[in-house]
Amino acid sequence: MASELRAMAWTVLLVPACAWYARSACRRLRPGLPRLAALAPTFPVFVYLPCLFNSLHFRLFSTFFHTWLAINKLVLLALGIGPLHPSLPLVPFVLCASLPIKLRLSQQPPAAKRSPSSPPPPPLADFLRPCARSFFFLSCLFVAYPHTGWLPVYAVHFLYCVQVFLTLDLVLSSVALASATVLGAGLERQFSTPLAVASLNDFWGRQWNLMAVDLLRASAYEPVRARWGRDAGVLAAFLMSGLLHELLYLYLTLRRPRGEMVLFFMLHGVSQIAERWARAAGLWRPPKVAAYLLVSAFMVVTISELFFGPFMRAGADVRLMEEAAAMLQLIMGVSRRLLRPFGVVSSL
């Protein structure tokens, strides 16, 4: 615990400092190579931050927040595109650079003067509801896991998929809730309904991890599409996602990647293109229920074999489960202490 607190303290110190430096440098330099060269010294900091943590959960989210999203945002900032802009006030800039949040386009930055007719920020319940929902269903999952030994392996892996979504939704919604409270501005949701889709195009383009989708669209899809066409842009975005997940595998397992993440994402990229071609030709028009079952089966099988497989062979899944169970026990223990004066401890 002491080492994790030290790592958290270094993160809280270094990330805002790098973001402040990036904003200051970009206000003095035009987009292009000079701005990119000025921001380059911050990149090793974001690459190293996940190594400070022993907990796989903290290492995972530090990799996602800093090594993946923050560096990507800063590279786009150096090119004059993306969600960051030097004109943003300091606090919104730091939070948007270091966290997976995105200001709603219809909202002005909090430091700007709002006219009486400007729409108010959305209610915090927009993020409080998914936090409570995800925590509740995650608790149910961890209670049910000891009794799933009779289920087939793909059914268990489907539960793993649900767990991944709920965990990400809980963490990202909690981050957005805290950020919206600080900024007083509306933020975009990161997920829609990814567990109820009947199309790969819909899942990857409009339902799953929308912050990462936006950055992949700006950094890989759009530049390649402008030169080689839409399909090449899709493959470039999936290739970049696969390489970033190989990096995530390296951070979590400390083992050399074997290309399975790239294979998984390239398979889904090709399948997404094939699905779009088939729809355009009128060859893929199944009933919605059948499409949902087919897409879900394809997702679970490919995730089981190519995505979960490498992590499970490295034992990362067991350690993640142990950490999640320990965190749940800690939360329940704190809840008992807080509720003891009200006489409701016996129900927890």
Model confidence pLDDT, tens digit, residues 61-92: 999 999 999 999 999 999 998 888 898 899 99
Query: Which of 164 and 186 is assigned the larger pLDDT?
Result: 164
Which residues, in sequence order, are CB contacts of 90 under 8 Å at separation 6+? 20, 23
In the structure encoding, which two tokens stand for residue 30, read together? 């035009």
- When pLDDT is averaged across residues 180-196 and rounded to a whole number, the result is 76
Integer Cα distance of 195 and 162 in angstroms: 8
Integer Cα distance of 289 and 324 in angstroms: 33
In the structure encoding, which two tokens stand for residue 326, read together? 């320990």
Task: Provide the 10 A C-beta neighbour count for residue 154.
Answer: 13
**In this predicted structure, which of 14-23, 124-133, 174-183, 273-282 has the lowest mean pLDDT?**
124-133
Q: Using the structure block, give the residue that is written with the tokens 């992949």.
A: 216
CA neighbor of 104 nearest in space, from 126, 132, 86: 126
CA neighbor of 165 nearest in space, from 208, 210, 126: 208
Residue 337 has pLDDT above 80, yes or no: no
Task: Please tell me the predicted confidence (pLDDT) of residue 113.
Answer: 43
Residue 19 has pLDDT above 60, yes or no: yes
Packing angle of the helix pair 153-183, 90-98 (nearest 10 deg) = 170
Task: Please tell me the predicted confidence (pLDDT) of residue 335.
Answer: 66
Task: Please tell me the predicted confidence (pLDDT) of residue 112.
Answer: 42
CA neighbor of 200 nearest in space, from 281, 265, 153, 282: 265
Q: How far is CA 17 from CA 3, 33, 45, 97, 327, in A?
A: 21, 22, 11, 11, 30
Looking at the chain, the whole-number percentage of residues with pLDDT higher than 90 is 39
CA neighbor of 47 nearest in space, from 28, 24, 70: 70
Question: Is the Cα dihedral 323, 48, 191, 242 positive or negative?
Answer: negative
Q: What are phi and psi of 121, to 5 degrees?
A: -60, 150
CA neighbor of 296 nearest in space, from 202, 213, 217, 212: 202
Count of helix runs (H) and strand runs (E) in the chain: 16, 0
pLDDT in tens, 137-178: 888 888 888 888 788 888 888 888 888 888 888 888 888 888
Q: Using the structure block, give the residue that is written with the tokens 């200001």.
A: 103
pLDDT in tens, 45-66: 999 999 999 999 899 999 999 9
Q: How far is CA 285 from CA 278, 282, 298, in A?
A: 9, 7, 17
Paired strand residues for 78: none
> Residue 217 carries which side chain, given as an amino acid letter?
R
- When pLDDT is averaged across residues 226-246 and rounded to a whole number, the result is 94
Question: Is the Cα dihedral 184, 136, 322, 264 positive or negative?
Answer: negative
Integer Cα distance of 76 and 298 in angstroms: 33
